[in-house]
Amino acid sequence: MLYRNFRPPGGGEVDLVCRHGEVLVFVEVKARRTDTFGAPAEAVTRAKQELISRGAVAWLRLLHHPPIHIRFDIAEVRFVPGGGEEVRVIENAFPLPERYRL
C-alpha cells in the first residue's frame, strides 16, 4: 500500500492507492455486516466511481502523468457473526471514464 484516504484539494477520493507489480491500483473499500441492502460492491455507484476517478487523476497529476497502467478495484469486506471478516477483491471493477483519459 502506498497511501490511505487520499483526498485531493480539487475533489475526489481514493481509499487505498497500491501497486500490483507494474500496475497502480486505486481501491475502494466497502464493508457490510449483512447483505440486506445488497453486496458491498453494489454501493459503488456511478457517482462514487466518479469521485474515485477524480481522485485517481489528481494522484496521477501529482506524479506528472507517468506512463503507467492503472486499474480500479473494489475490496468487499463482510463482517462475520461472532467476529472476523471475509474480504473479496474485485479487480478491474470499473474503467476510468473516457473524459479523464489522456
- Judged against a pLDDT cut of 90, whether residue 100 lies above it is answered with no
Name the pTM for this structure: 0.94
Is 102's pLDDT higher than 90? no
C-alpha cell at 52: 474515485
Distance from C-alpha of 54 to C-alpha of 17, rounded to nearest angstrom? 13
pLDDT in tens, 23-45: 999 999 999 998 888 999 999 99
Query: Which helix (H) or strand (E) element contains residue 67?
Result: none
Could you tell me what percent of the chain has a pLDDT over 90? 86
pLDDT band at 1 (very low <50, low <70, confident <90, very high): very high
